[in-house]
Structure 1
Amino acid sequence: MSGRARGRARGRARGVTEEQQARRPGEPEQAAATPPPPVMPPQESQAPPPASGRASYRGGAREPRPGMASGEGPRLPTEELAAMSIGTGEAAEVGRRRREFRYVEARTRPAHIVDKRGTAGNQLPLITNFFRMERIPDWHMYQYHVDFNPVIDSKRMRIALLLQHETLLGRTRAFDGMVLFLPIRLQEQTTEVYSKRNSDDVNIRITITMTNELPPSSPQCLQVYNIIFRRVLGLVDMKQIGRNYYNPSLAISIPQHRLQVMPGFVTSILQYENEVLLNCDISHKIIRSDSVLDLMYDMYYQKPATFHDDATRSLVGSIVLTRYNNKTYRVDDIEWDKRPSDTFKLRDGSKISYRDYYKKSYEIDVKDKEQPLLVSKPKKKDIRRGQTDNLYLLPELCKMTGLTDEARADNRVMKDVGAHTRVAPAGRTQTLTAFVRQINSNEEVLREMGGWGLRFAQDLLNLNGRILPQEKIYQQGGELSYKQEDADWSREMRGQQVITAVGLVNWVIIFTRKYSNEAQDFVQTLSRVGPPMGMKISQPIPCELVDDRNESFLTALRNSVTPQTQLVMCVLPTNKKDRYDAIKKFTCVDRPVPSQVIVVRTISKKNMLMSVATKVAIQLNCKLGGEVWALEIPLKNLMVVGIDSYHDSAKKGRSVGGVIASMNATLTRYYSRCTFQHSMQELLDGLRVCMQGALQKYHEVNGCLPERIIVFRDGVGDGQLPAVSEHEVPQVLESFKKAGGQDYNPKVGVVIVKKRINSRFFARAGPQLTNPPPGTIIDSEVTKPEWYDFFLVSQSVKQGTVSPTHYNVIWDTTGLRPDHMQRLTYKLCHLYYNWPGTIRVPAPCQYAHKLAFLVGQSIHRDPSLDLADRLYFL
């Protein structure tokens, strides 16, 4: 079973008992076990009307959404946003999801790092997906504080009163009801004006006081830049869906799979090393072309007896898009007893049905009157704002986003979708350049940005990177010769002996009678591929089962595994998650022994059997404590630690932290522990125990404690960086002292590893653009001045554009130069034994992820320490 499949195969069904009979959408609880077919067939939801001419929800002109209690403000399922008046007298919806932009970055650059740029390697000219923000000479922005006397509580009213003085303020401004930003400086430090309130003809005194003259790189300016740019995106017909902007009119249909691919952009404007830059990358939103109701009807027709369970399992936890307002919602439940004819209260206390509400507000006729309603529960931030009621959505008006498990497992679907989403460097740069030139040529945009004295450069930013030297890979027979640009040495490994081979003498294979031939063929192939690698693979103890029930496998494990058993292999007919979990829990906790689980279809193709057997043999050697290949590691007495976390699928609010620490000089043997943490609890609460165990094991193996410890911390978002820097790092240092004694003071480095970034880099190959080769380092221009950071392209991709990884060194007493830190990071990307090539992150991080994923998905408990010195989680 693939990791992705296991990751998605959650038990999402909630609140559906076995006694509940199968029903079509909207059918009452008392229906018979085999219900009649639906009265009317599912139909496409009506397309939403144009948005022009409608007042904004945020302004309160519309009635509240369905599900809002009487007397509340607008019931929004997402974060309420500050409305800032920008431009010519209109209250524009801007500043949406301000948490997307980090205006004040945590300063984590160590004080002694004066120049973070390295020098090793050959220079490589690059193009990146950044555009310069150009400004008029001597550009400044002016910040004012605005007071109203008498006090005006309504933000909307404050904006309207201030806009009466357009002659004084100009047409270009940004005002959130209290703070006013202008591109011009008013004549007086404090300016008083009067506005008349129309409701009671009262004069309101408005005092405008200048509080700051802002330079282009100030955090407040960055905030306004992003607000302005969001408005610009709206002016070029882009629609916000979730966090990003998309163009629904350019959606590409894939009719054979009932999918649509909607193109869009991810954007942000931030201060980088020397200037303010716009980072812009292509994004794609995958949406089903049919509605959620259509999907429910399909499930009903296919399996009416299990319809409720299937619908709940498929829909609960998914994200849906309501096309009438282009907003996304998480489905938390299905209200089977609610109908579109049910009513809810409006703000004025009157009632309206859901069906009439959508007709009145969106001119949409709801066709299926018996459909149930989807439930989207308020998040914690909604509850803090007093929004405690559920939001109810009509399946007919919702569309599923993303791909289902079945679609991801279908090669045809992935190939057809990938044809539109995997964009090569040349196509990506052309799209980005055309997008910015469209912005720069739009008259409305020119007026908007021209008023602020801003514009974007026409072309992508050019900069220089470096290619690090190729790393030497060693096996027992000597150095492997491979091409750095391929980042793959699988061919060169054929016939070569691994560094440390562990013989497989006492092992068990469990299989069902139906697939006994496949199991025997695989064992014979394993015995042939093992000796050339130096592995002696003896015949296993066979255990044949008459059926494939979970209990049959567990009974066989109990009867077959002894203290002398080195490894257990289970050949499964299908990749059922519950069976896989039961096997892993038994072999990792109840009776610890390394285990290998293989699905029959993986070993049923004769032409692929030798290749599969070779890869499995390498895995088995690692799980038994062996080593496959190694690199030159010049640093002595070094320990590298990888930390990653994963949400526990069995317990809401609990996460699993995987901790991996190297045990030898070549960084090829590891000790692993895991720790559990709950919401609002720091990971380091359990890290002390993990580090104590790792240092104790290191001393046991090497007779001394490490002089240098470098921690690679994965799974950290931008919002968590201050917490890691201020809380986790001191606890890490304290844990080292407690583990090694008060006199133990190793040199420590802590590196944040971030994969979810939007930066892309392209190399020139003659007139064409290609992906940069593995080993490309970027440590200038697009890095942050307050960080000790760099980008590394460590892997090679055959299709689309390669994604770099961002590294941020937030603590450093190692004494290593930037070249050394970058080179060590690149070396570690070569040491992941599940892939004969380089990977995107250092091997300790990937091992930590595999451990956390296994525990969070299948085991849900601490694995036995008897397995801690082996890579049993591969």
Structure 2
Amino acid sequence: MSGRARGRARGRARGQSEEQARRPGEPSQQVQQQQQQQMPSAAAPAPVPAAGPPTASGRASYRGGAKEARPGMATGSGDVPEEQLAALRIGTGDTKGVGRSRADYRYSEPCTRPAHISDKRGTAGGQLPLLTNYFRLESSPDWHLYQYHVDFNPVVDSKKMRMGLLMSHENLIGKTRAFDGQILYLPHKLQETVTEVYSTTKRDNTQIRITITLTNELPPTSPQVIQVFNIIFRRVLAMIDMQQIGRNYFNPSLSVAIPQHKLQVMPGFITSILKYEQDTLLCADISHKILRSDTVLDIMYDMYNQAGDRFYDECIKKFVGSIVLTRYNNKTYRCDDIDWEKRPSHTFKLRNGDEITYAQYYEKSYGIKVNDVNQPLLVSRPKKKDIRMGRTEPIYLLPELCALTGLSDEVRADFNVMKDVGAHTRVAPDGRTKTLQGFINQINTNQQVRAEMGGWKLKFSDNLVSLNSRILPQEKIVQKGDCALSYRQEDADWSRDMRGKQLITAVNLQDWVIIFTRRNSAQAQDLVQTLSRVGPPMGMRINGPVVCELPDDRNDTYLKALKEYVTPTTQLALCVLPTNRKDRYDAIKKLCCVDHPVPSQCVVQRTLSKKQMLMSVATKIAIQLNCKLGGEVWALEIPLKGLMVVGVDTYHDSAKKGRSVGGVIASLNQSLTRYYSRCTFQHSMQELLDGLKVCMKGALEKYHEVNNALPERIIVFRDGVGDGQLPAVVEHEVPQLMECIRKAGGTQYNPKVAMVVVKKRINTRFFAKHGPNLANPPPGTVIDTVVTKPEWYDFFLVSQSVRQGTVTPTHYNVIWDTSGLKPDHMQRLAYKLCHLYYNWPGTIRVPAPCQYAHKLAFLVGQSIHKDPSLALCDRLYFL
């Protein structure tokens, strides 16, 4: 199970209600009395900006409390020179022309490509032709976009009126244009640099002078042009009946119903137009919106019939924090609260000051008749960006008109539901390319789209972009005695070949404790016996444990036993749990990681229930125990001497809003198989790590303690960074890193340093030809041309094998590099590290230090919420 999936399974904190349950929509006696006296005003529903007082004063308020959920068990030196940082900051786009105003500036993407990397393409490996989910945007060689600044005298405040006044001169500017009320973009150049025209307002016949001034002649590579291309493409999507929901576009008419689960799958596309190495390309990938086919009100009635007195609590847990879709306008909102006192018969003020009830508004604006006049209303509070735009009041939504989006924790735990949903959302390469080809054909053959694109003198290519990739050589994986494991690179799995072979460094388990309840006694005994059998072939001698049988499964009983039986010499505590309750798992981990530091392993009874699988389960548990005790399982050849690799990732703390946990993992040995771990806390929901200096200082000290020398090279793999955060990482984290290195090693310490941003959530896909069909590229496929960015030192790497659906590559962006490594070396190192994650006998999507950092941050953010004890920092206790 992935970390994200496990986070969903474990759940988030929810509120608890103190009110007694009522029928949904039924007001309390106090509120009934209030309603007889007055009808409180309210904020507007979704389509209208809110106005008037917030919520009714008599309603109950709900805030955070505990929610029980599954825990999910495991089966250069000195300061950075200012001129170097300045070169990496965001720059402005190309300028050519006159009269550029301050409002006309647009910003480009950050340029992070080191100056000494003249060619970022590698050469190692065999060639492999691929297709990718990109289409070229074609234009003439001398194509330019002309940018004009438009002034109105007297000043016209209304954007709609400004657009109407300018459009009355269509014979001058033409039918093809993009105008936002101040800046006008045209595909052709007007005769004069400054053009003056006059228009008359219809309301009062005022004559308005319009001055159109040329400010820029923009080439296709300009950031402003890319912005206009995306605006044009949004128009194109609307012309082919695609509707925007959130950030992406979907076609509601093609929704597929899954009636047995009351779900709908709405197909759509994720699209963006950007400048790549040589061309401007449209990236298009398939997306799916999962919706409930019943409304929120339907779910409320079902919950009322089942929950009884717990109805209010269950509603808060179910809906608060979820995202709902309003079908009448296809907009999504976050449900922040439920106002049990407000009704569709309550009024709110329109922009013109008139009062209208919610029921009347929906019937007048959308022709929707509200059926249940006693339903409560959902509350969506304004976000920071909404407040900046002037909306300070909450939006009230009718549950009858809302549908839940996404999948709840309970649904995700249902294998049958996920199987049926996956049949529609998990698309193989052949099906994906067929859908994308149909999408671009629909665009290129639509007459309205052709007229729009032809006016701009643009066209999309008819076929997917093709490119050449390389397959890196297969890595040699060894265990004790240089015993090489044989495996097929296409499968990227060596679990079978590990059987009966000794681990590189096996730690004997001599003093350990096993804790279980009386009813799980048989499973615990079977586990101990099986561990003693699977350990010796791997080189582990596992002695009999100290046995602790508990009379019940209460949290306090487990904690009391751990405190009593765990001594300073105890190597490990293993707990067999009857269920995967989150609160019990959290309590055990907090005690074993903070209060009484000892490596711990939790195993759910269900995992041990199948006798035929027990040998396989025990083998995996034994390997995990060896890692938690400081052992090593397998290794690769790492030719670089004096190398330290660092993994950094963040995870939001579920116990404290606005706080993030950063995990930092640093290697300690030549083979990159032993690690030092630290975590740091960051506030305000930031991904950036202010505490990076403290963690790196501890890692360097530990490295020196183990090797009697500081590392010669430090390569940092930074996960969890979006493209918009790149400048902040360069200006914030790189200086911290360099300052920390300088202070740790003194003025004479001058290691070679690189920082690599690792990105998993990308929309790029690659398809390899497999006879007449298309298949996923094999593990080890590297792409460093065509779809990479010219301003970045970046590459894509397919490191894992996928048997269902389409593989997602990982994007690597080297934002700082004084390491002296060639592109080939950087790519090979990234691929090697994807083999070294000990929780899976195969390759993974990201380098092992990143995955270890995620596991650490996840454990602390979900269960511990405190700094783990430093006594565990040199072991992989968080696996």
Structure 1 residue aligned with 2:110: 106
1:806 corresponds to which letter in structure 2? Answer: H
- Counterpart of 2:731 in structure 1 is 726
The 2-side partners of 1:428 and 1:64 are apart by 35
Query: Do the aligned partners of 2:571 and 2:629 also contact (CA within 8 Å) in 1?
Result: yes
SS in 1 for 2:861: helix
Q: Which residue of 2 aligns with 1:160?
A: 164
Aligned to 2:353: 349
Q: 2:415 — aligned with what? A: 411
- 1: CA distance, partners of 2:285 / 2:175: 31
Cα distance change of structure 1 residues 63 and 254 upon mapping to structure 2, 3 Å threshold:
closer
- Partner residue of 1:23? 22
| TM-aligned CA deviation for residue 7 of structure 1 | 3.9
Instruction: Give the secondary-structure state (helix, strand or coil) at the position aligned to 2:498.
Output: coil
The Cα of 1:731 is off from its aligned counterpart by 1.4
What's the counterpart of residue 126 of structure 2? 122
Note if 1:753 corresponds to 2:758: yes
Structure 1 window deviating more from structure 2 (508-517 vs 169-178): it is: 508-517
Residue 33 (structure 2) aligns with = none
1:392 aligns to 2:396 (yes or no): yes
Question: Would you say 1:538 and 2:543 are equivalent positions?
Answer: yes
Counterpart CA distance in 2 for 1:513 and 1:328 is 49
For residues 513-563 of structure 1, the C-alpha deviation after alignment (integer angstroms, 9 at most, x for no partner) is 111111111111111111111111111111111111111111111111111
Aligned to 1:358: 362
CA 494–275 in structure 1, closer or farther in 2 if over 3 Å, else same: same
1:69 paired to 2:51: yes
What is the TM-score of this pair, normalised by structure 2? 0.91
Listed one character per residue, the Cα deviations across residues 435-461 of structure 1 (whole Å, up to 9, x for unaligned) are 001100000000111100011000000
Task: Give the deviation of 1:497 after TM superposition.
Answer: 0.7
Residues 13 and 309 of structure 1 are in contact (CA less than 8 Å); yes or no, is this contact kept in structure 2?
A: no
TM-align CA RMSD: 1.6
C-alpha separation in 2, matches of 1:168 and 1:598: 75
Question: Does the CA contact (< 8 Å) of 1:12 and 1:312 recur in 2?
Answer: no
Q: Counterpart of 1:685?
A: 690
Alignment partner of 1:246 is 2:250: yes
Deviation at 1:103, TM superposition (A): 6.5
Indicate conservation of the 8 Å contact 1:662/1:671, yes or no. Answer: yes
Task: Give the match's secondary structure for 2:560.
Answer: helix
Amino acid corresponding to residue 873 of structure 2 in structure 1 = A
Corresponding residue of 2:69 = none
Query: What secondary structure does 1:511 align onto?
Result: strand
Query: For residues 850 and 340 of structure 2, what CA distance do their matches in structure 1 show?
Result: 44
Give per-residue Cα distances to partners, 1:377-401, cap 9 Å, x unaligned.
1111112223111111111111111
Q: What does the per-residue CA deviation read over 1:58-94, in whole Å, with 9 as the maximum and x for residues that have no partner? A: xxxx99846711599xxxxxxxxxxxxxxxxxxxxxx
Deviation at 1:716, TM superposition (A): 0.3
Mapping 1:296-311, distance limit 5 Å = 296-311=300-315
Matched, 1:515 2:520: yes
SS in 1 for 2:168: helix
Q: What letter matches 1:407 in structure 2?
A: V
Equivalent-residue separation in structure 1 for 2:382 and 2:569 (angstroms): 54
Cα offsets for 1:717-757 (capped at 9, x unmatched): 11111100122111111111112222211100000000110
Q: Which residue of 2 aligns with 1:872?
A: 877
Contact 1:63 1:347 in 2 (8 A): no
Rounded to whole Å, the distance in 1 between the matches of 2:114 and 2:745 is 25
CA distance in 2, matches of 1:519, 1:63: 57
Structure 1 contact 67–344 (Cα < 8 Å) conserved: no
Match of 2:649 among 644, 652, 673: 644
String of CA shifts for 1:37-57, please: whole Å, max 9, x gaps.
Answer: xxxxxxxxxxxxxxxxxxxxx
Query: C-alpha separation between the residues in 2 aligned to 1:210 and 1:11?
Result: 54
Q: Does 1:620 align with 2:625?
A: yes
Partner secondary structure for residue 492 of structure 1: helix
Match of 1:13 in 2: 14
Q: Distance in 2 between matches of 1:112 and 1:539?
A: 59
Long gaps (5+) in structure 2: 31-43, 55-105
* AA in 1 matched with 2:631: G
Q: Name the stretch that deviates more: 419-428 or 537-546.
A: 537-546
8 Å CA contact 1:5–1:405 kept in 2: the answer is: no
Please, what TM-score do these two structures have when normalized by structure 1?
0.91
Alignment match, 1:133: 137
1:496: which partner in 2?
Answer: 501
Cα distance between partner residues in 2 of 1:507 and 1:499: 22
Q: Distance in 2 between matches of 1:471 and 1:757?
A: 26
Contact 2:322 2:334 in 1 (8 A): yes
Distance 2:812 2:354 in 1: 56
One-letter code aligned to 1:596: Q
- Paired residues in the alignment total 813
Aligned position for 1:58: none
Q: Distance in 1 between matches of 2:208 and 2:45?
A: 29
Paired letter, 2:160: R
What letter matches 1:451 in structure 2?
A: G
Equivalent residue, structure 1, for 2:344: 340
Cα distance change on mapping 1:485 and 1:288 into 2, 3 Å: same
Tell me, in whole angstroms, the C-alpha distance in 2 between the residues paired with 1:297 and 1:701.
63
SS of 1:836's equivalent in the other structure is: coil
Question: Residue type of the partner of 2:691?
Answer: G
**3-state SS of the aligned residue for 2:805?**
coil
1:26 maps to a residue whose letter is G
Counterpart amino acid of residue 656 in structure 1:
V
Aligned to 2:271: 267
How do 1:700-849 residues align onto structure 2 when only pairs under 5 Å count? 700-849=705-854
Please give the secondary structure, in 2, of the residue aligned with 1:303. Answer: helix
Aligned residue in 2 for 1:458: 462
Partner Cα distance (1:511, 1:421) in 2:
41
Deviation at 1:30, TM superposition (A): 5.7
* SS class of match (1:159): helix
Structure 2 residue matching 1:482: 3-state secondary structure: coil
Q: CA deviation at 1:576?
A: 1.1
Amino acid corresponding to residue 646 of structure 1 in structure 2? Y
Structure 1 residue 305, shift from structure 2 partner:
2.0
Which ranges in structure 1 are unaligned for 5 or more consecutive residues? Answer: 32-61, 73-101
**CA deviation digits over 1:561-593, x for unaligned, max 9?**
111111111111111111111111000000000
Partner of 1:212: 216
One of 639, 646, 667 as aligned partner of 1:662: 667
Residues 416 and 7 from structure 1, CA distance in 2 versus in 1: closer, same or farther, beyond 3 angstroms?
closer
CA distance in structure 2 between the partners assigned to 1:211 and 1:824 by the alignment: 47
Distance 1:400 1:837, change over 3 A: same
Tell me, yes or no, if the aligned pair for 2:326 and 2:401 is still in contact at 8 Å. Answer: yes
Separation in 2, partners of 1:742, 1:136? 56
User: Measured at CA, do residues 601 and 648 of structure 1 come closer, stay the same or move farther in structure 2, by a change above 3 Å?
Assistant: same
Output the CA distance in 1 between the equivalents of 2:6 and 2:374: 34
Question: What is the CA deviation profile of residues 185-230 of structure 1, one whole-angstrom value per residue up to 9, with x for unaligned ones?
Answer: 1111111110011111111111111111111111111011000001
Give 1:194's aligned amino acid: Y
Percentage identity across aligned positions?
A: 73
Q: Does residue 470 of structure 1 match 2:474?
A: yes
Q: How does 1:547-696 map to 2 (within 5 A)?
A: 547-679=552-684, 683-696=688-701
Change (3 A) 1:202 1:70: farther
Structure 2 equivalent of residue 51 of structure 1? none
User: What pairs with 1:848-867 in structure 2 (closer than 5 Å)?
Assistant: 848-867=853-872
The separation in 2 between residues aligned to 1:248 and 1:775, in whole angstroms, is 38
Post-superposition Cα deviations, 1:665-709, rounded to whole Å, max 9, x if no partner, equal 000000000000111767442111111100000000000000000
Cα shift readout 1:850-874 (whole Å, capped 9, x = no counterpart): 0000000110000000000000000
Amino acid corresponding to residue 50 of structure 2 in structure 1: M
User: In 1, distance between residues paired with 2:311 and 2:456?
Assistant: 57
Q: Which residue of 1 aligns with 2:102?
A: none
Cα distance in 2 between the residues matched to 1:64 and 1:113? 51
Letter in 1 for 2:334: R
SS in 1 for 2:690: helix
Structure 1 pair 712–2 and aligned structure 2 pair: CA distance change class (3 A): closer
